[in-house]
A and B are shown apart, each in its own frame.
Chain A
Amino acid sequence: MTRLIVTRLLTLIPLMFFITSVVFFLIRFVPGDPARIIVGNQRITPENLENIRKQYRLDRPVLVQYGLWVRDLSAGNLGRSYRQRTEVRTLIVDRLPLTLKLGTFSFLISLGIALPLGVVAAVRRNSWVDVSATVFSLIGASSPVFFTSILLILLFAYKLNWMPALGAGDGGFDQFKHLLMPALALGFSLAAITTRITRQAMVESLTQDYIETARAKGLSSRSVVLKHAFRNALIPVITVAGLQFGFLLVGTVLVEYTFGLGGLGSLLVNAVQVRDYPVVQGTTIFIAAMFILINLVVDVFYGIVDPRVRYDGRR
């Protein structure tokens, strides 16, 4: 197991390096003077402009900037925002909890929908449940999450007046109420794919010989489905759920924007809109790191569920 973790960690280092370099150099290729972007439309003396260049190290050669930036990065220092005059790290730490709550909540909702729906659809193949599951996953996968959000706002906030349309609430139950709709929107989108995979995996596992044997032994249908078929169907489902993490990240960005939630996603989108490079760099890299870590966790989890993975250290 330790070997598995170490091998995975080692392959993740180049990925991290790749993403940081891409993000750094991409932004350095931009025509125009970053110092001017920092200043915006304000009038400024040439001396002050020079000071700003110094302050943000823009007067150094690009490779030196990169070296210093990587050094800072490894110390956990992500630089300062051009616009908000704060450390990028502080901004991220402030915004992170909301995004984490939204992401976890959405993920749980998606599993809550997808697992039962996929299992029932597979057990009762070609029934109305199966057909609706197929239609649900097709439409769910084709509807952009921000449109699903808008539909939910129309229905639950404007027509039925059950839930608040925008904002993140004041913590506690109020925040739960505010996060419910965004999480539902994202949960639906995620569930579309997971439902399909769960159904496929269950159909496959229900046609195996050991299911026949279990039935022949006289086990109850419930025990056959849940204990024998579902356990084995879980492996592909975990893989896909892990892969979906990237989708979940992009989803939180979009959903936060639609619902006006001040999480990591809206921090990134706003930074892109006003070209606040350090924030764009910092958030992208932070999200990438999070993404990589979660993938590692999924891999390890995979090793726990499926002992075969443990031995050769890879799938």
Chain B
Amino acid sequence: MAVGVGSLPGNIAAAPEAPSTWSMFFWRLRHNTKAMIGGAIVVVLLAVALLAPLIAPKDPNDGELADSLAMPGQGYVLGADKNGRDILSRLMFGTRTALGGAILVVAISEIIGVPIGIWAAYRGGWVDETITRVWDMLLAFPPLLLAFAVVAAFGPGLEKAAIALGILYVPFIARVVRSVTLVQKEMAYTEAARALGYGQGRIIFRHILPNCVSPIIVISSIDIAYALLDLAALSYLGLGVQPPTADWGTMLSEGQLVLLTSPHVALAAGLSIVLAVLGFNLLGDGLRDVLDPRQAQR
């Protein structure tokens, strides 16, 4: 028995260094199927979006009318649309529109939402009360319906739709940031920092904000999935991206007009939307399992 105690210091010296937070994170990430599949889809989509001009076989906006609605194979990998434009190339450029729009929505919501969330939690009192009341109301109401009103007022277009959705998405992120801040604010190290006389700004940027990062990453991924769906819906209804810009939602509604004779147009566009949304949903779910921010439920 005494042997154990006696050899303890030696054991400690020989023990491997504890894994860093980052390597733990990557280890858990690699063992999460959802995160890996979702991550792979997202990486491929981002690559396609970035490299579209290089890898697209044809000009997405240049159609050969003689090849109108060509079936897949006949000189076009995925066929051609009504205007004889290469569907594969349009899908590739559509990735730019879709991801660009969705990331814009989420970026806007975070630029506004993160400070609001921190402010609400920090100020407390009537400020907090008012802000949470307002976003509770907004949370309950589907963003797409209010986006309709914005489009009715300012006319259709990707930027307008993205700005409107971005503002309507603010509560989703602000709510999470607020709850994380509320917890961190009461932590011993925050109190210690305050006792040391550090200013609020330093406490927020050095202590509170870093702790918000992982929930923000999870929410971002899931919100991008929602934004992809909402933007695709607006474009599908003719209220978002306007032709001739290559966009999945617009392609889907164009494809619906020729569904009986050329289903490949609608199928290609629709499956792209599903794949992208699925990718971000899986990644978000997986990351949540890995990072486990309990507030991330939506």
Interface residues in chain A, defined as those with a beta carbon under 8 Å from any beta carbon in chain B:
14-15, 18-19, 22-23, 26-27, 29-30, 138-139, 141-144, 146-147, 150-151, 153-154, 158, 243, 246-247, 249-250, 253-254, 257-258, 268-269, 271-273, 275, 277, 280-281, 284, 287-288, 291, 295
Contact = CB atoms under 8 A, between A and B. Distances in A.
Given A142-B274, A146-B236, A284-B145, 6 more contacts: A14-B137, A26-B153, A138-B278, A147-B270, A250-B144, A269-B237
Interface residues of B, number: 40
B277 A142 contact: yes
Contacts of A147: 252, 266, 270, 273-274
B274 A30 contact: no
Contacts of A19: 141, 146
A94 to B, nearest CB: 20
B227 to A, nearest CB: 12
A15 B135 CA distance: 10
**A interface: dominant SS:** helix
A142 B194 CA distance: 45
A146 B252 contact: yes
B259 A150 contact: yes
B109 interface: no
23 contacts: A26-B150, A26-B153, A27-B149, A139-B274, A143-B270, A143-B277, A146-B233, A147-B274, A150-B256, A150-B259, A150-B266, A153-B259, A158-B259, A158-B260, A246-B145, A254-B233, A254-B236, A258-B256, A268-B148, A269-B237, A275-B155, A284-B148, A288-B141
Nearest to A19: B141
A277 B151 CA distance: 11
Interface in B150-195: 150-155
Given A26-B150, A150-B256, A291 B238 contact: no
Interface of B: 133-134, 137, 140-142, 144-146, 148-155, 225, 229, 232-233, 236-239, 252, 255-256, 259-260, 263, 266-267, 270, 273-274, 277-278, 281-282
A150 B133 contact: no
A272 B137 contact: no
Contacts of B252: 146-147, 150
Contacts of A139: 274, 278
A144 B228 CA distance: 9
Contact of B149 (A22, A250, A258): A22
Contact of A143 (B237, B238, B274): B274
B273 A250 contact: no
Contacts of A246: 140-142, 145
Nearest to A15: B137
A214 B274 CA distance: 43
Nearest to B298: A243
A254 B232 contact: no
Contacts of B146: 19, 22-23, 284
A287 B145 contact: yes
A250 B238 contact: no
A291 B141 contact: yes
Contact of A280 (B133, B148, B277): B148
A153 B258 CA distance: 12
Contacts of A153: 259
A144 B270 contact: yes
A154 B263 contact: yes
Nearest to A147: B270
Contacts of B263: 154, 158
A280 B147 CA distance: 11
Contacts of A272: 148-149, 151-152, 237, 239
Contacts of A284: 145-146, 148-149
A-B pairs, top 7 by smallest CB distance, nearest first, are A147-B270, A142-B278, A246-B142, A142-B277, A280-B152, A272-B152, A15-B137
Contacts of A29: 153
